[in-house]
A and B are shown apart, each in its own frame.
Chain A
Amino acid sequence: MTEQINYTTNPNVDWTTPMLDLHGVNKKYLEGTDAEVHAVRNADFKVYKGEMVALMGPSGSGKTTLLNLIGGLTPATSGSIQINDIEVTDLNEEERTKLRRNSIGYIFQHFNLLEFLTAEQNVMLPLLTQGYSDAQAKRRTTMMLRELGLGGRLEHFPSELSGGQEQRVAIGRSLITNPAIILGDEPTGDLDRSAEEGVLNMFRRINKEKKQTLLLVTHSEWIGSKCDRIIRIENGEIVQTGLEVTS
């Protein structure tokens, strides 16, 4: 018997379109050696368009690995991963890059920003790689950072920002290209409760306004409770998808 999550209350979810579809995904590190780690075992789950899902599990359970697999940053040992009906494992390097550039926004667990770029330049970067002109990119960036409450920090370098501000800049960067799916690896890890709440509200808002899909790794049950549902992973195995029907 499993708890039913209040995802039904989220009107943005398009249940006919799985944004993310994992099927029998395995990831082994150092395969064939004594130190082999089976970091992800037979993962099987879907995330639908417009969902905001938490991915939770103990440290070392394979959360970051799973996000990396989805983003095509590391190849899967076996199984199928589809984003928006595109089979990631079939893509070549170039196509995966294109997919990341256009469809995925990333927020990393640690060291999120390029130190030699200002807050503004960090956020602009994905737009520039998409071919936007400097002026257009600047305009959108300024708006975004203002929304994130960083209007006065445009010219600051990461070393001149607080941990929470850095994280907000990173979030801004992941959102700036309006990606179909946002992958966040403990996006609020370094933040205090009130900052955490602010960020979470923002996620909620973009989820609502732009119908973006979010997959957020977190250790915080509180954040988990604010998401549509929680996917739980333990020792590489998905032990709960949050969609199980109560028996």
Chain B
Amino acid sequence: MIALKTAFRNVFRRPSQNIAVILGVALGVSLFVGVQVGSDSLGAGLLELSIHSIGERDASISPVFTDFFINEQILQEEDPFSPVPTGGTFLENLTETDAYKNNVAAITARLHLRSSVIQPETGAIEVGKRWTGIDPDQHPAFGILTNLEGQTLNVADLEPHQIYVGEELIEDLFTDQDPIGKNLTVQSSITTLGQPPFVESVSVRISQNLTIVDIFQDEGLGRESFSDYLVSPLSTLQELVYQGIEQAKVAAFLQGQFLLGFGSQPLTDVYIVWKDGIEIGEGSETATLRLQIALDQIFGDFAALHRVSDTRGNIVRQIDAATEGLSLLLNGFGAIIILAGVLVIINIQSMALAARERETGILRAVGAKRSQIIRANLLESVFLGVFGSLAGLAGGVAYGRLLVWFLGIAFEFETGDIPVVVTDETLIISFFAGFILSQVTGLIPAINASRINIARVLRGIDAPEPEDFGRKSLYFGFIFTLIGILGIFTLDPNPLIDGNDAFTNIDDVQAAYPFFIFTIVGPALLVAYFRNFRLGLTVVGLFLLGFAYFNVFYVLDKIEGGSGGLSYIIYLVASLLVGTVILTAVNLDAIASAGQRITAWFARSSTTPVRGTTMVAFKKMRSKVTRSTLTFALFATILTLNIWIGTFSYSFRFGVDSQVVALTGGSDLVIYSPDNPLPASIGFSQELVDEFDDTAREVQITDARGFMRSPSSLYYLEADDPNSNRTANSVAIGPDSFWDSTAQENWIFPFDLFDNKTETPFETYEDQDGDPEATFEDEVVWKALANNETMANTQGEQKPILITTFIFDFSTFTIEKWQGESVYLNLTDGTLQEFVIGSISNGAPLSDLSLGSNFGPPGFSSTFYVNEHWKDKLLAFSGISDNENVFLARTNIEDQTSSVLEDFLIDVEGWANAGSFQNQFGSYGIIGVTTYSIYEGQLEGQFRFFQFLQAFVSLGFVVGILGLVVVAFRSVAERKREIGMLRALGFRRRDVVVSVVLELIVMGMIGLVIGFVNGTVMGYALTSVNGGGGEVEFLIPWGLIGLYAAITFMSAILSAIFPAVRASQIPPSDALRYTG
């Protein structure tokens, strides 16, 4: 009871000190809560955003091949040539099933046509947009359109040639005119698909002129996000498609092709809302499965063509997976910032402790028992811990809100879209973490303090007592060494046995890291026991650094694969940080002397007291090793993190020239027809270029090459399994297909090949004269392909070469084919032709850069590069015999990011789409993009993410500045007497201020140097790993680093100046009386 009273009295007796402790703990807890809230909310926000985009739909039934309309077998009994769409049968049948009755609350059909939308007056074109037919009697769950004035729009009011257009699409197509009443040209292609593999499909293109009746807005109310759609009544689109298919049938019939099973009412999507009580997750998965089975029972072999998907459940799963990585990352970086926060807490606590030590000494001297002292400390500490943690929870929620707000900006959410998620777990865990932390940093040292040497304390000596590490370091050293060594022996693969090969998988490296740390720290503790503490520390520091550098410059190069790596990266940063901080701390003496000497040299001719001031600052710094270390370590941590992320994102943003060149083959522009083939002649490219290449323009096309690309799938067989039919795209390569192909020594082969040359049988490749090729270069294979050369298959027979992107089996997640193996392609004459895979390409602009949705995600379907000799002989799976042309152009503009190129392309599009091009070729319009914008578009998400990370880690500076303020206030308070003495000895007020500020500046600058070294090393490490073998040039953002230096400098000055000035104003006689 008495102890309790004492404790509370103490709390109020030392207000400033205890407020600092509470603030410190609160800060740590706030960071912890904030990071949690941030990552939880980000997940929730992404989920909300994705859910928003699918509307109220829970599940859908859609064709397996999304680009195709499916002929409906349900309607087979009807006359396929009936001019009138029958409608409704599918849905009617569906509603009769029990599965439907049990699970589904609402259902409606949608029909989507993927379309190009052209603004005829300007020639502006938007591709890959959805023209959607919706049911006028739609179920209310699937959304109601409203125009910009908020009035409800009903598609039933639309005539066949009228249309509603989404807000976003209007913004893209019209700059200033009023779009209502204007016309749009909408072009869609319809492909019907028979049952693979024996039935061919037919494709037709339809072009419509539609009048814009009204613009609808995206309301963001959880309905489907339509804002770049065109909307018509379902029946209008059905009619249109039906007519298109009729045309196609007639055309096919006239060509004598065999047709089978064209339905009159193609459906692309059926939207479903589950009944209440079906939970997203297991519930929705089961419902999906049941529905699929029921559909199969009614419609027979339905599953082959239709897939029921648990749309909402899938999104939840995807977002969970995506945010798991993200929150791991946030937590990883957050952990480092929290570490900085912990440094602040330790700092505060150790200062509070210094004041308490004296008191403890006196209490012990007058006969207080240790248990009494501990009890008093315990209660006080518990009180402060609870209070600080509670305050931290409040602060953390606020900080979380701030982070979420920032996330909203970085990811361009509308702010309202991200809910702030604060879970009970977050609060409870954070509270206890904060509480425990405060006890560990406050109470334990206080208890230790009760063992102090009373006499020393009473004499007012606060120089650290040489610590007695004694047996503890012996035991721990031994145990750590043992764990480390045993651990290393159990590793699989093992670096001791497998040598370098052990370092190829990042997961293995990550697993091994802690054991190596044990084998570093263990022996060092033994050194500390048998030799001395300082040497032990030096050994730890040196080995940690050495090991980290070994990893950065050697191991990282070796790593080829693996899934994880975040922990590994955190280990690396931690090793670098701890290593540098320890080494700096151990050598603080020498650093301080050097610093003093340097400043003295600068002030060598000065007659002011500056030498006295600097001596005081530097000697003070080295006398308080622990505090100084905590302070510069704080800055080292924050700056390491910031400079690391800064260099990494900077390099990724601006050091990518070579990567862009590699991906685009050095081209600046891509000009292509989005949905429709251009006349297939290579010569055309020059024609086109001549048209564009107006010499009055700034931009001149210096070279252009065309590629022919089959837009549809190529049918092929694998050699070892004639029954496994697969599809691939194909690209025809001829000698003219590459830059400077005539001057062989100047060939630029932009498309790099998979770097796995040890597995290639290409040593057996012989050039045209039969001489074995001595060197194996990418060019060799591409040249061989362009020249239609052959190479030996596994049986040693010479076969034509083919280059492929990875042939990947998504069911087993393996790469199925390697160099030297064979692929059989169907030829139009009905035979199979064997090709040998000359090499595997990492990709090319045409497959790597996705040019609109037309090209699909990279690496998703394989692309075969064949010589153009084979182009017309290959049997394309699709009925489209035309090939698509894509032109890559090089220009005289050096800077790929130049806006001049963009302007030029707007002219090109306008020219092509508004008149001349269509007149000349009767075709539908072309798109021009700069290759850099494709690259940028692909990486935009990443850039945004970097931006967010940078903002996130720069919040660490707030922690740093708070830390410095605390250090400055406390250190000035402790030094009042000292300051009085200095004043009595003839220090001016400003000398006192300078010496205090200088001390903090020096510590900040030490932190800056450490941060710079570690940050750039980590930046380099990450850049070289993520840049894919040095394609990203490592750049140091000097401007940013200058900014960080300035921030550090300013924070040191700002946080120290106020307390220092205040202390310098205390009359010296009073300051001298101060006893702490």
Q: Which residues of A line the B interface, CB within 8 A?
A: 65, 68, 71, 73-75, 93-94, 97-98, 100-102, 106, 108, 111-112, 114-117, 121, 124-126, 128-134, 157-159, 173
Residues of A within 8 A of B985 (CB): 100-101, 106, 125-126, 129, 173
Q: A133–B604 contact, CB under 8 A?
A: yes
Q: A116–B623 contact, CB under 8 A?
A: yes
8 A Cβ contacts from B413-466 to A = 459-463
Q: A74–B1069 contact, CB under 8 A?
A: yes
Please pick, from B619, B984, B987, the residue contacting A71 in the complex, using a CB distance under 8 A.
B984
Q: B607–A131 contact, CB under 8 A?
A: yes
- Does B606 reach chain A (CB closer than 8 Å)? yes
Q: How far is the CA of A134 from the CA of B616 in the complex (A)?
A: 13
User: How near does chain A come to B870, taking the closest CB pair, in angstroms?
Assistant: 84
User: Do A159 and B463 form a contact, CB below 8 Å, given A73-B1068, A116-B624, A131-B609?
Assistant: yes
Q: How far is the CA of A65 from the CA of B1067 in the complex (A)?
A: 13
User: Do A114 and B978 form a contact, CB below 8 Å, given A101-B986, A125-B616?
Assistant: yes
Instruction: Jot down 6 A-B pairs with beta carbons below 8 A, ordered by A.
Output: A93-B988, A94-B988, A102-B986, A111-B977, A121-B615, A131-B606
Q: What string of 1s and 0s marks CB contacts (under 8 Å) between B599-627 and chain A?
A: 01000101111011101100110111000
User: Do A129 and B609 form a contact, CB below 8 Å, given A73-B1067, A73-B1068, A116-B624?
Assistant: yes
Q: How far is the CA of A129 from the CA of B463 in the complex (A)?
A: 25
Q: How far is the CA of A79 from the CA of B69 in the complex (A)?
A: 107
User: How near does chain B come to A176, taking the closest CB pair, in angstroms?
Assistant: 10
User: Do A114 and B986 form a contact, CB below 8 Å, given A128-B609, A134-B600?
Assistant: no
User: How near does chain B come to A107, taking the closest CB pair, in angstroms?
Assistant: 10
- Does B981 reach chain A (CB closer than 8 Å)? yes
- Does B375 reach chain A (CB closer than 8 Å)? no
Q: How far is the CA of A186 from the CA of B989 in the complex (A)?
A: 27
Q: Which of B607, B982, B987 gathers the greatest number of chain A CB atoms within 10 Å?
A: B987
Q: Which of A93, A124, A132 gathers the greatest number of chain B CB atoms within 10 Å?
A: A93
Residues of A within 8 A of B986 (CB): 97-98, 100-102, 126, 129-130
Residues of B within 8 A of A73 (CB): 980, 983-984, 1067-1069, 1072
Residues of B within 8 A of A131 (CB): 606-609, 611
Q: A128–B615 contact, CB under 8 A?
A: yes
Beta-carbon nearest neighbor of B1071 in chain A: A73
Q: B987–A97 contact, CB under 8 A?
A: yes
Q: B984–A74 contact, CB under 8 A?
A: no
Q: B612–A159 contact, CB under 8 A?
A: no
Residues of B within 8 A of A71 (CB): 984
Q: B1068–A74 contact, CB under 8 A?
A: yes
User: Do A159 and B461 form a contact, CB below 8 Å, given A125-B985, A128-B612?
Assistant: yes
Q: How far is the CA of A128 from the CA of B988 in the complex (A)?
A: 13
Q: How far is the CA of A129 from the CA of B989 in the complex (A)?
A: 13
Q: A115–B1068 contact, CB under 8 A?
A: no
Q: How far is the CA of A130 from the CA of B610 in the complex (A)?
A: 9
- Does B1070 reach chain A (CB closer than 8 Å)? yes
Q: B463–A115 contact, CB under 8 A?
A: yes
Q: A115–B461 contact, CB under 8 A?
A: yes
Beta-carbon nearest neighbor of A160 in chain B: B463
User: Do A121 and B1068 form a contact, CB below 8 Å, given A111-B460, A159-B461, A159-B463?
Assistant: no
User: How near does chain B come to A236, taking the closest CB pair, in angstroms?
Assistant: 16
Q: B611–A128 contact, CB under 8 A?
A: yes
Beta-carbon nearest neighbor of B988 in chain A: A97
Beta-carbon nearest neighbor of B604 in chain A: A133
- Does B868 reach chain A (CB closer than 8 Å)? no
Q: What string of 1s and 0s marks CB contacts (under 8 Å) between B977-1004 and chain A?
A: 1101111111111010000000000000
Please pick, from A75, A102, A134, the residue contacting B1067 in the complex, using a CB distance under 8 A.
A75
User: Do A114 and B608 form a contact, CB below 8 Å, given A74-B1068, A108-B1072, A159-B461?
Assistant: no
The 4 nearest A-B residue pairs measured at CB: A101-B986, A116-B623, A129-B609, A131-B607
Q: A125–B988 contact, CB under 8 A?
A: no
Residues of B within 8 A of A97 (CB): 983, 986-989
* Interface range, B side: 35 or more
Q: How far is the CA of A121 from the CA of B609 in the complex (A)?
A: 14
Beta-carbon nearest neighbor of B613 in chain A: A129
Residues of A within 8 A of B988 (CB): 93-94, 97
Q: B984–A100 contact, CB under 8 A?
A: yes
Q: B981–A108 contact, CB under 8 A?
A: yes
User: How near does chain B come to A130, taking the closest CB pair, in angstroms?
Assistant: 7
Q: How far is the CA of A75 from the CA of B616 in the complex (A)?
A: 27
Residues of B within 8 A of A128 (CB): 609, 611-612, 615
User: Do A106 and B615 form a contact, CB below 8 Å, given A74-B1067, A75-B1067?
Assistant: no
Residues of A within 8 A of B987 (CB): 97, 129
Residues of B within 8 A of A68 (CB): 1068-1069
Q: How far is the CA of A116 from the CA of B984 in the complex (A)?
A: 17
User: Do A116 and B606 form a contact, CB below 8 Å, given A73-B983, A74-B1067, A106-B985?
Assistant: no
Q: How far is the CA of A97 from the CA of B1067 in the complex (A)?
A: 12
Q: How far is the CA of A50 from the CA of B102 in the complex (A)?
A: 113
Residues of B within 8 A of A157 (CB): 463
Q: A117–B463 contact, CB under 8 A?
A: no
Residues of B within 8 A of A132 (CB): 611
User: How near does chain A come to B899, taking the closest CB pair, in angstroms?
Assistant: 60
Residues of B within 8 A of A100 (CB): 983-986
User: Do A129 and B612 form a contact, CB below 8 Å, given A73-B1068, A116-B619?
Assistant: yes
Q: How far is the CA of A115 from the CA of B464 in the complex (A)?
A: 12
User: How near does chain A come to B981, taking the closest CB pair, in angstroms?
Assistant: 7
Q: How far is the CA of A156 from the CA of B616 in the complex (A)?
A: 16
Q: A114–B463 contact, CB under 8 A?
A: no
Please pick, from A75, A93, A130, the residue contacting B989 in the complex, using a CB distance under 8 A.
A93
Q: How far is the CA of A74 from the CA of B623 in the complex (A)?
A: 30
Q: How far is the CA of A75 from the CA of B987 in the complex (A)?
A: 17
Q: A74–B981 contact, CB under 8 A?
A: no
Q: Which of A68, A115, A129 gathers the greatest number of chain B CB atoms within 10 Å?
A: A129
Residues of B within 8 A of A130 (CB): 609, 986
Residues of A within 8 A of B1068 (CB): 68, 73-74
Beta-carbon nearest neighbor of B977 in chain A: A111
User: Do A106 and B984 form a contact, CB below 8 Å, given A73-B1067, A93-B989, A125-B616?
Assistant: yes
Beta-carbon nearest neighbor of B1067 in chain A: A74
Q: A115-B462, A116-B620, A129-B609 are in contact. List 5 more A-B contacts (CB 8 A).
A: A73-B1072, A114-B982, A126-B985, A128-B609, A129-B611
Beta-carbon nearest neighbor of A64 in chain B: B1069
Q: B462–A125 contact, CB under 8 A?
A: no
Residues of B within 8 A of A124 (CB): 615
Beta-carbon nearest neighbor of A75 in chain B: B1067
Q: What string of 1s and 0s marks CB contacts (under 8 Å) between B461-483 and chain A?
A: 11100000000000000000000
Q: How far is the CA of A37 from the CA of B825 in the complex (A)?
A: 109
Q: How far is the CA of A74 from the CA of B983 in the complex (A)?
A: 11
Beta-carbon nearest neighbor of A114 in chain B: B978
Q: How far is the CA of A115 from the CA of B978 in the complex (A)?
A: 9
User: How near does chain A come to B892, taking the closest CB pair, in angstroms?
Assistant: 64
User: How near does chain A come to B544, taking the closest CB pair, in angstroms?
Assistant: 29
Beta-carbon nearest neighbor of A98 in chain B: B986
Q: How far is the CA of A133 from the CA of B604 in the complex (A)?
A: 7
Q: How far is the CA of A131 from the CA of B1069 in the complex (A)?
A: 25
Q: How far is the CA of A137 from the CA of B1 in the complex (A)?
A: 59
Residues of B within 8 A of A133 (CB): 604, 611
Q: How far is the CA of A128 from the CA of B616 in the complex (A)?
A: 11
Q: How far is the CA of A171 from the CA of B285 in the complex (A)?
A: 89
Q: What string of 1s and 0s marks CB contacts (under 8 Å) between B953-989 and chain A?
A: 0000000000000000000000001101111111111
Q: How far is the CA of A128 from the CA of B619 in the complex (A)?
A: 14
Q: How far is the CA of A71 from the CA of B608 in the complex (A)?
A: 21
Beta-carbon nearest neighbor of B985 in chain A: A126
Residues of B within 8 A of A75 (CB): 1067
Q: A114–B984 contact, CB under 8 A?
A: no
Q: How far is the CA of A90 from the CA of B262 in the complex (A)?
A: 110
Q: How far is the CA of A97 from the CA of B624 in the complex (A)?
A: 28
Beta-carbon nearest neighbor of A157 in chain B: B463
Q: How far is the CA of A129 from the CA of B611 in the complex (A)?
A: 7
User: How near does chain A come to B605, taking the closest CB pair, in angstroms?
Assistant: 10
